[in-house]
Structure 1
Amino acid sequence: MVKIAILDDWQDVARGSADWSLLASRADLTFFADAFDNEDQAAAALADSDILLTMRERTAFPATLLRRLPKLRMIGITGANVATLDLAACSRQGVVVCNTAGGGSGAPFATAELALGLLIAAARAIPVADATMRAGGFQRGVPVGVSLAGKTLGIVGLGRLGSRMARYGAALDMKVIAWSPNLTEARAEAAGARLARKAELMAVSDAISVHMVLSPRSRGVIGAEDIDLMKTGAILINTSRGPLIDQGALVAAVRAGRINAVLDVYDKEPLPRDHPLRAAGNTVLTPHLGYGVEETWRDFYPRSVENALAFLDGAPIRVLNAS
């Protein structure tokens, strides 16, 4: 029987987000809730799989791993493209790759909404306040928060999500400034922000929210010298991708108590249990929840099922590497 692996279902949402019954009648389905520790573990677990239905970049598929999956015939990815999948290697190996692009609206601003929530949570020490209440306390030990009105919000990357974050900042009566390598004054103004130089943004912002796509060019776009410019006590929010920020410099600034790191994404995910960010008091941490809302799952998983069924029928759809 055909074996299908549904990968990286970290919140156990896959089964309830689509009707799997027709696919289950034609294939043996295995749902993986936990991340693989390394390539060897992934290769061993997936060696007998004919089809893999993946979730974004959670498990990387370089050529080295693909070569160790001799039975693999199809990979279904969620979204339009996945940077951690070697598409050329799939083509060489005869593996069909299908995506879920062209779906419904899903939740296009879910990540920006989370960034707003994280900003307010950090400004008002909401995680500490909640933990204190649950422990039987009240105000004692809860840090005094700050008002965001009148403060400066710096946005790195003013695309779809960054522009939405600019609107949220304006709604809070914050001064909004923005920078990205190709941002123009006109585009910044259209989004309700003022174009700033990168160094200025890092130095004057009370909170900085990063909204850039990870690429070789943008990796480390917030470097040690940028973090050194930040105000003491400033909030640095990252809901995009961990490697956009120099992690060593970030950890050093957090450990020194200079800045507040507010993070939904990390260089390595899941974040290791012993990672120093987990122990720091001046952090607010969420487990890469940005796009992960009900509306997203109800878009991704039914299309993943459709892709697998179409492939089994011999007429694959939404194929990325069609010859």
Structure 2
Amino acid sequence: MLDDFQGAATELADWSVLKGEVEVFSLREHLDGEDALAVALADCDIVVTLRERVPFPGSLFARLPRLKLLIASGMRNTVIDYAAAQAQGVTVCGTQSSGIPPAELTWALLLGLARGIVEESTALRTDGPWQSTVGADLHGARLGVLGLGRIGGHVARVGLAFGMRVSAWSPRLTEERAAEHGVELAASKEELLADSDFVTVQVPGGDSTRGLIGAAELALMKPTAYLVNTSRASVVDQDALLAALRAGRIAGAGVDVFDIEPLPAGHPMRTAPRLLATPHLGYVSHANYTTYYRQAVENIQAYLAGSPTRLLP
């Protein structure tokens, strides 16, 4: 099991049901690069990977001749070469994943930015100034939701509960779909960005959304507006966002996803101004992890029985 940073993988599922058939171990440290993965996984017949942090291209499959079963959390993964897996005789399975935890983290970041939670808490704990920020109001403000799918729908409903004016946009979003959620359909991505006081990114990753928000799009936002991205790093141009934050072109950003994960020491995103950042915690919740690992066990049992389930893609 890859990237078991918290040591939760073996605690949240009953792996003992595989005793005598599978030797189970987890890796607490991230393996950086194909060479490290090829060495560490050389003797593995089964690998469990989390989300899309670790790419599995054809070149890696070719270096893992023993690998027979790859299990990914979630039922969508853009960094697995499925054709190569099939050619190598590797079965690929997924697990269910709830959209509620990332929606909740979106609001944690948005609220943290709006009310200066980190700055004020840090000042209080270090004998700093008493009240140094003036919070941004949510009630009556415009929330722009980029992507009104499973997660974006949750985000939009919470915005409405806060009394916000909520609009949404995505390339295929219709007025009917927006109306089902009780939100307005923005005429364009540009209108959404220009009119919103808070923008949240909930579109999926992939070629169609890569660079959807770049320097030109960030320039459309109000200088008092905030951007929150808990979707995929590829959707927002990281260099353009860093430039906007450093220049004060937007009030701030909340980011949970990065071009490189884990972020290397000294990476500019670690010290960027006006940035509230978390280490890809969107999917990291007790309920989600329990689902991932319990269904990973079920997937292994089904594979060993000759009837693999939850096949990807």
| Corresponding residue for residue 13 of structure 2 | 18
Aligned AA (2:260): K
Deviation per CA, 1:42-77: give whole Å up to 9, x if none: 111111111111112121101011111121111122
Decide which of 230, 243, 247 is 2:238's aligned counterpart.
Answer: 247
- For 2:236 and 2:294, locate their aligned partners in 1 and report how far apart those are by CA, in whole Å: 34
Pair 1:128-2:119 in alignment:
yes
Instruction: Give the match for residue 57 of structure 1.
Output: 52
Structure 2 residue aligned with 1:48: 43
Matched, 1:91 2:86: yes
| Paired amino acid for 1:74 | L
Query: Paired residue for 2:273?
Result: 281
Distance 1:208 1:320 in 2: 32
1:304 aligns to what? 296
- Corresponding letter in the other structure for 1:151: A
Query: Structure 2: how far apart are the matches of 1:86 and 1:24?
Result: 30
Q: Which residue, out of 182, 206, 212, partners 1:192?
A: 182
Alpha-carbon contact 1:110-1:290 (below 8 Å) kept = yes
- 2:310 aligned with 1:318: yes
2: distance between equivalents of 1:210 and 1:192? Answer: 18
CA RMSD of aligned residues (A): 1.7
- Secondary structure of 1:176 counterpart: strand
- Give distance in 1, aligned partners of 2:310 and 2:221: 44
Shift of 1:110: 1.5
One-letter amino acid of the structure 2 residue matched with residue 139 of structure 1: W
Match of 1:38 in 2: 33
CA contact (8 A) 2:152 2:202 kept: yes
Cα distance in 1 for partners of 2:203, 2:300 equals: 31
> Secondary structure of 1:47's partner?
coil
Q: Does 1:220 align with 2:201?
A: no
- Whether 1:163 and 2:181 are equivalent positions in the alignment is no
Secondary structure, counterpart of 1:318 in structure 2: coil
Normalization by structure 2: what TM-score? Answer: 0.94
Question: Residue by residue, what CA displacement relative to the aligned partner does 1:171-216 show, whole Å, maximum 9, x if unpaired?
Answer: 1111111111112222222212211122111112111001101121
CA distance in 1, matches of 2:30, 2:199: 30
The 8 Å contact of residues 38 and 64 in structure 2, kept in 1 or not, is answered as yes
- What residue number does 2:165 align with? 175
Tell me the amino acid that sits aligned with residue 67 of structure 2.
L
1:75 pairs with 2:70: yes
- Residues paired across the two proteins, number: 311
Counterpart-to-counterpart distance in 1, 2:108 and 2:156: 14
Counterpart check, 1:100 vs 2:132: no
Which letter maps to 1:20? W
Q: Within 2, Cα distance between the matches of 1:64 and 1:44?
A: 13
Structure 2 gaps of 5+ residues are none
Are 2:246 and 2:273, in contact at CA under 8 Å, matched by a contact in 1?
no
Change (3 A) 1:61 1:193: same
Q: Give deviations 1:9-59, integer Å, cap 9, x for gaps.
A: 122211111011232443322211222211111111111111111112121
Point out where structure 1 has 5 or more consecutive residues left out of the alignment: 1-5
How far apart in 2 are the matches of 1:252 and 1:25? 55
Give the match for residue 3 of structure 1. none
Q: Give the aligned residue type for 2:265.
A: R
2:109 to 112, 118, 143: 118
Q: Distance in 2 between matches of 1:107 and 1:215?
A: 20
What's 1:207 paired with?
198
* Between 115-124 and 25-34, the greater mean CA deviation after superposition: 25-34
Whether 1:29 and 2:20 are equivalent positions in the alignment is no
Aligned to 2:144: 154
TM-score (norm 1): 0.91
Equivalent-residue separation in structure 2 for 1:9 and 1:219 (angstroms): 28
Give the percent of matched residue pairs that are identical in Structure 1 and Structure 2: 45
Cα distance in 2, alignment partners of residues 318 and 237 from structure 1? 31
Residue 251 of structure 1: how far off its partner (Å): 0.9
Return closer, same or farther for 1:165/1:320 CA change in 2, 3 Å cut-off: closer
Change (3 A) 1:23 1:161: same
Runs of 4+ in structure 1 deviating by more than 6 angstroms, as ranges, are: none
